[in-house]
Structure 1
């Protein structure tokens, strides 16, 4: 590789690293406490994420217009049904740009078995590090710490193994 190509490759790598650092700054990282967001469920009940401490929680940011989100929903439902009796909770956070009627219709039509909230103001997404890409999913342990963040659909076999490990912890 010539000197100019090496210099260009180095500059591109440095720019990529700087971009990744900028993108990750301010975003909750694995091992950090999850933000104690308050939210209103579609049924009107007010809740705080901290009330779920002692349980393993999956927070999924999604939108009805997101094909990957819609495609992964049956897996999220099956995961919830499988682990809910053991102390596992799912919170689906519909993005602020998603029309409330679409979210309510989707939730009712699919009979989602878990909690759904509409992030009307975008505040929940901001508190989770300005989530903009859907689906983005956070797995939170019983102590309220973020264990893993997924951008895009997770590998559900690996997710299930991680959930089982977290449920087994005291």
Structure 2
């Protein structure tokens, strides 16, 4: 039997537990996940390491030469890169493992892609980024290596540009 002076203890403990759980949920939802520490291999065999990208705003675009949406959005991706590269934007276009490397090289050269193009011949990069299967899938990563946004399909470029401008200022 509890006395009236102790009656407040159980509700107070319950309130404290609920508050702690709520705070934990808030921080877990509000903190962006980190980009996986992937080392990409570019079309010339060079390595693009997490250290190369640290401190920069980065777009990682998973695509394929056989993906009509990817091919259609690529000129806007080039324009976006050209618009923001002077402010520190990095861009890595990652060709899916099923995309023949010679197709990727040909596409890169004929379209004169100005950014880094990588081959994911083992599929490890796509797996590390959450088992990317749909193309295009684009990640925007801030200077601290946190994923700000994941776009599946063609992004709405005006909104993407606003996000990049905010991230580049930060």
Q: Is the pair's TM-score, using the shorter chain for normalization, greater than 0.5? A: yes
CA distance in 2, matches of 1:71, 1:49: 29
CA distance in 2, matches of 1:72, 1:100: 20
Query: TM-score of the superposition, structure 2-length normalised?
Result: 0.81
Cα offsets for 1:86-139 (capped at 9, x unmatched): 100110000000001100000000000000001000000000010000000000
Which residue does 1:73 correspond to in 2? 74
Aligned 1:135-154 pairs, distance under 5 A: 135-154=136-155
Q: Is the 8 A contact 1:30 1:148 kept in 2?
A: no
Structure 1 runs of 4+ with >6 Å offset = none
Which residue does 2:130 correspond to in 1? 129
State the 1:44 CA deviation: 1.9
Aligned 1:95-106 pairs, distance under 5 A: 95-106=96-107
Compare CA radii of gyration and give the structure with the larger one. 2
Q: Is the 8 A contact 1:64 1:103 kept in 2?
A: yes
Quick one: structure 1 residues 50 and 32, their matched pair in 2 at CA, closer, same or farther if it must change by over 3 Å?
farther
Q: Is the 8 A contact 1:90 1:114 kept in 2?
A: yes
Alpha-carbon RMSD across the aligned residues, in angstroms, is: 1.3
Structure 1 residues not aligned, in runs of 5+ = 1-28
CA distance in 1, matches of 2:161, 2:146: 18
CA distance in 2, matches of 1:30, 1:102: 38
Aligned residues: 141
Which residue does 1:92 correspond to in 2? 93
Structure 2 residues not aligned, in runs of 5+ = 1-29
